């Protein structure tokens, strides 16, 4: 009938379509390799597309450059300025801690009724860039702006603590001014210690301390006024 032939070949013994029985018992082709009903990526014996390509990927925090062990080590070096920090920690340009400290500093000032986020980041960016230039002119070992920002940002911690005290205490009084002076000295000592260790500028520590002290005075003035 079809294809120009009137002959018709009967189905094999048992009648009906040869796959009818199989289709009735296996309507979605689970055992015949039709692909219907098989798991995605299992057709042809293959695996999932891209399966295993993330097995060797580093953790997300490591890709972002956030290492809590190094953050804590630098924080302890600021809290205890006489404590010597390993050189490996100073070689990293970690900005996670400084950003958090700057944000906490601005939040404490905000709780005290002072909105200074723009001044914090403005003075911080200008001060870090200027101090990086000064250190490169003074020292024999180069230091980039990111590493300078990391050290200065971590050493902002005493000023952050001062701003937290300023939420409940008026810093314009005698006690507040005494705490402000202590915070500047504390931050300046810690930052000078770290720069002195990294740049090997022991005999120039007072020249380093002067511009660093001026920078932290700006932040302390924000906390007072």
Does any domain span residue 132?
A: yes
Looking at the 3D structure of the chain, how many domains does it have? 1
Does any domain span residue 49?
A: no
Closest residue by Cα to residue 157 from 188, 129, 193: 188
Model pLDDT, residue 106: 96
Model pLDDT, residue 187: 96
Q: Rounded to an integer, what distance in angstroms lies between the CA atom of residue 43 and that of residue 220? A: 67
What angle in degrees, to the nearest 10, is found between the helix axes of 68-79 and 174-199? 120
Does any domain span residue 104?
A: yes
CA 123, 170, 76 angle in degrees (round to 5)?
A: 55
Going from the C-alpha of 3 to that of each of 6, 8, 9, 160, the distances in angstroms are 9, 11, 14, 91
Does any domain span residue 32?
A: no
- Torsion angles phi and psi, residue 135, rounded to 5: -65, -35
- Using 50 as the pLDDT threshold, list the residues of the chain that sit under it: 1-5, 14-23, 30-38, 40-46
Does any domain span residue 77?
A: no
Which residues span the domain enclosing 138? 95-224
Contact by Cβ (8 Å): 63, 145: no
Model pLDDT, residue 13: 52
H helix or E strand, kind and range, residue 146: helix 145-154
Does any domain span residue 52?
A: no
Burial of 191-207, coded b for 16+ CB within 10 Å and e otherwise, reads: bbbbbbbbbebeebeee
Residues 6+ apart with CB under 8 A from 118: none
Rg (CA), the chain: 34
Model pLDDT, residue 33: 47
Model pLDDT, residue 119: 93
Does any domain span residue 189?
A: yes
Total-model pTM: 0.71
Does any domain span residue 61?
A: no
């Amino acid at each position: 009938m079809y294809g120009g032939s009137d002959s018709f070949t009967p189905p094999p013994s048992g009648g009906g379509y040869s796959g009818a029985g199989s289709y009735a018992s296996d309507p979605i082709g689970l055992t015949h390799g039709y692909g219907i009903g098989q798991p995605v990526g299992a057709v042809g014996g293959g695996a999932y597309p891209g399966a295993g390509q993330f097995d060797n990927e580093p953790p997300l925090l490591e890709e972002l450059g956030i290492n809590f062990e190094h953050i804590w080590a630098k924080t302890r070096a600021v809290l205890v300025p006489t404590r010597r920090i390993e050189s490996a920690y100073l070689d990293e340009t970690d900005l996670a801690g400084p950003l958090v400290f700057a944000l906490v500093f601005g939040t404490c000032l905000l709780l005290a009724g002072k909105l200074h986020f723009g001044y914090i980041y403005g003075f911080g960016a200008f001060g870090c860039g200027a101090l990086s230039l000064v250190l490169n002119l003074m020292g024999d070992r180069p230091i980039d702006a990111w590493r300078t920002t990391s050290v200065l940002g971590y050493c902002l911690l005493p000023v952050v603590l001062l701003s937290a005290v300023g939420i409940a205490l008026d810093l314009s009084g005698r006690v507040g001014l005494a705490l402000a002076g202590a915070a500047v000295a504390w931050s300046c000592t810690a930052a000078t210690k770290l720069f002195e260790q990294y740049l090997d500028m022991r005999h120039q520590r007072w020249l380093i301390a002067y511009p660093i002290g001026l920078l932290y005075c700006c932040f302390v003035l924000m906390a007072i006024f």
